[in-house]
Chain A
Amino acid sequence: MSNKRIALVGNPNSGKTTFFNAITGANQHVGNWPGVTVEKKEGRCSYKGVEYDVVDLPGIYSLGAFSEDEVVAMDYVLSDDADVYINVIEASNIERNLYLTTQLLEMGKNLVIALNMVDEAERRSIKFDLEKLSKKLGVPVVATIANKEIGTDAVIKEAVKAAARPHIYENPLTYSENVLHHIQHMEEVLANKELPYPAKWTAIKIVEGDTHIIGRIEDSGVDQEVLDGIKEFHRFHSSDNFELEIVDSRYAFAHRLAEETVLRPKEEVTTLTDKIDRILINKYLGIPIFGLIMLVVFQLTFAIGEDLLGGIAVFLIEGLGSLLESFLIWTRSPDWLVSFMIDGVINGVGAVVEFVPLITVMYLLLSFLEDSGYMARAAYVWDNLMRSFGMQGKAFISMIIGFGCTVPAIMSARTMDNKKDRMVTMLIAPFMSCGAKLPIYSVFIAAFFPRHGGLVLFSLYAFGIIVGLLMAKLFNKTLFKGESSYFIMELPPYRVPSMKSVLRNMWMQVSDFITRAGTVIFLVVTIMWLMAVLPGSADPYSQQSFLGKLGTLLVPIFKPAGFGTWQESVALFAGIPAKEAVVGTLGMLYAGQYLEEGAILVNAVKQNFTALTAMAYMVMVLLYTPCVATLSTIGKETKSIRWPLMMAVYTFAIGWLVAVLVFQIGSLLGFA
């Protein structure tokens, strides 16, 4: 006579394998389940001189057909190979583990519960009423500490007893009236038919719509009447939610059972993340704290990136320029080449590269916040405010991405299924100040607000968010009406940022900035240089050059905003291909103009702007027409030329209007 068989079943990390090792000792062997790569562990244990075969089933959370492990476990349980099942449950996590238990009970399996790792639960002050739990489940429950072999013998004793007595099918679950009605109806259809599984359980699985089980029933050669009954049922109830109701009944049972038999400490164990979150994502403090953190980020950006390291970059670029100029003169290079290399490349592209330390520090700090888990909270704390503007908190993630670059921010709107949310997010993304605008602000801040760099920068970023939200409200009231979607989000725990990850993230942004300086910015500055030195009959960098003439045409548009010289106007024009080119073009044009005086860009800006016009210029840069890459992305995403055109025009209008308001109101208040 072959040995009786015991199967171990339980959730991953329930200590099931430790339990298996404890009861089988060295008496075990490992193989694979047939046809799959899932490990199969078998062994033997003995009780009162009788040997029992033991099989360790894969760790699973539920009996379904959704993973290889689940299929193996499900098929084993369906095969009815074992005489008794030991369901190993992790005591500290009993509620979750009981879901699988309810499924085993539903199947009518001969069960013994090993409530494992009770010592860990005790350390967390979790107590159990084992007697009540056993009574409610209708099966023996034994407390165990498998790694110390405590309670394992008692479990085997109960398993042996259970294997010896005749098993009576009892399903302790209660279903909703509607579901129960259909289960009973299905039982009638199945009555007196040859079935591979118990009729009651088969009826439940048919009503639940378990395709794996229904497939098995169909393949088992059952009566055609049964197959017709199953088809008929699903034809009539295809839009019902019986599966959800049945799964919910199992959760309700597990939850109720845990409530009645588990005593948890009143004071829940609060993690460090919980404690930090109580403050950082507090309903009232969340946004002010976010503002404060960003203000510190911008202050540090200027203190380190500009005041401490900025001079080094300027020294290197200027030194390189002097060396290059001497070399070109020494090699008797033509004047146009000297002009191009010094005015175009060094003063144009170099003016952008000088801001690498600033960009590096800012992205280092933002990457630090991101890796610490804080940035994920930003979307959370902004949700309520975003909703009052007709947006969802998720849109704030696109906005945060927009602080780096607008193109991925627009593409991230793709993840929104709702057209209204997607369109509004795309249309307001350009108001989030991207990294390319940082060099422009830095020049003006260095010239006019050197002591308040962080505060001015913070104000610009905050103003961009405010304009974006106001426009969102406007779009929601006019162009896009409709409901928002709903989300649940998983916030990662706070952690000490990994330097490797922070540096990698920072380098991604910085390398992109440098690459753009060497490619797009170089190209734009080259075109601007050509337009500034041609035609040959005009003085280079003069109003008679092609660029001067174009700038002169634009001057009347910007005059009301206070920055009405052709150089300032044409630099904004150059910013449409790429925003960094504003600084590059100003650097090139002012260098051509002030070269003899040896003035650097900041000094040139000081001579051509006032604090008020500088502020108006920065606001214009913040809000006006986004770069070509952004417009092209909008075109691709909306599959239309209408939206990028509309965006180009409306953002320009907003930028111009606000810049004019800043200048005019400032002038009236006497700041001119």
Chain B
Amino acid sequence: MLKEVLARIQSDGFLSKALLARELSVTEPMIEDAIGQLIRMGYMQEEESGADCITSCTGCAFATMCHKKLVTMYQLTQRGKKLLA
């Protein structure tokens, strides 16, 4: 299942967890666990939308507009891509 999760992300691009669960005929909590395991093992990483600065937000005129978390996204790491190669 873990390889399938990675493969579907690579082939389908944007996917919701619910849709992925339906397509792989497993429950959504299983997909959540699988993603957690893949992150732990270094095949995926969680990313956040919104700005991500190395500089401090203190005093930044745009600080209020950053840090919007519209969605949580997960991306394949080099290790994940290598596994599927």
Q: B66's contact among A96, A99, A277, A411, by CB below 8 Å, is which?
A: A411
13 A-B pairs within 8 Å (CB atoms) are namely A95-B27, A95-B29, A376-B70, A392-B13, A397-B71, A401-B65, A411-B51, A412-B49, A415-B49, A486-B75, A509-B65, A511-B64, A512-B64
C-alpha spacing A401/B65, complex, angstroms: 8
For the complex, what is the distance from the CA of A394 to the CA of B9, rounded to whole Å?
13
Complex contacts, A268 vs chain B, CB 8 Å: 22
Given A408-B50, A487-B14, are A244 and B74 neighbors across the interface (CB < 8 Å)? no
CB distance from A217 to the nearest CB of B (A): 21
A248 an interface residue at 8 Å Cβ cutoff?
yes
Task: List B1-15 residues whose CB lies under 8 Å from chain A.
Answer: 1-3, 5, 9-15
Pair B68/A491 contact, Cβ less than 8 Å: no
Residues of B within 8 A of A277 (CB): 16
Tell me if B30 and A255 are in contact (CB < 8 A).
Answer: yes
- Find out whether the CB atom of A489 lies under 8 angstroms from the CB atom of B83: no
A61 to B40: give the CA distance in the assembly, Å.
Answer: 14
Inter-chain contact B71/A411, CB cutoff 8 Å: no
Given A61-B33, A408-B65, verify A379-B71 contact (CB < 8 Å): yes
- Give me the interface of B with A, judged by CB distance under 8 Å: 1-3, 5, 9-18, 20, 22, 26-27, 29-30, 33-38, 40-41, 43-44, 47-53, 61-62, 64-66, 68, 70-76, 83
Say yes or no: A244 contacts B43, CB within 8 Å: yes
Which residues of A in the span 439-458 have a Cβ within 8 Å of any Cβ on B? none
CB distance from A441 to the nearest CB of B (A): 20
Give the CA-CA distance A231 to B50 in the complex, in Å.
Answer: 43
Residues of A that sit less than 8 Å from B by CB? 61-62, 64, 66, 93, 95-96, 99, 241, 243-244, 247-248, 251-252, 254-255, 268, 274, 277, 370, 375-376, 379-380, 383-384, 387, 392-394, 397, 400-401, 404-405, 407-408, 411-412, 414-415, 417, 484-492, 508-509, 511-512, 515-516, 629
Do most interface residues of chain B lie in helix, strand or loop, or is the interface mixed? mixed
Which A residues lie within 8 Å of B13 (CB)? 383-384, 387, 392-393, 484, 486-487
B14: contacting residue among A375, A383, A511, A516, CB under 8 A: A383
B3: shortest Cβ distance to chain A, in Å?
A: 7
Q: 9 nearest interchain CB pairs?
A: A411-B51, A383-B14, A508-B64, A96-B29, A490-B72, A393-B14, A397-B49, A376-B71, A408-B51
Given A383-B13, A486-B13, residue A412 in contact with residue B50 (CB < 8 A): yes
Q: Determine how close the nearest CB of chain A comes to the CB of B10; give it in whole angstroms.
A: 5
Q: Decide: B68 and A401 in contact? CB cutoff 8 A.
A: yes
CA distance A247 to B53 in the complex (A): 35
**Bound-complex Cα distance A392 to B75 (A):** 12
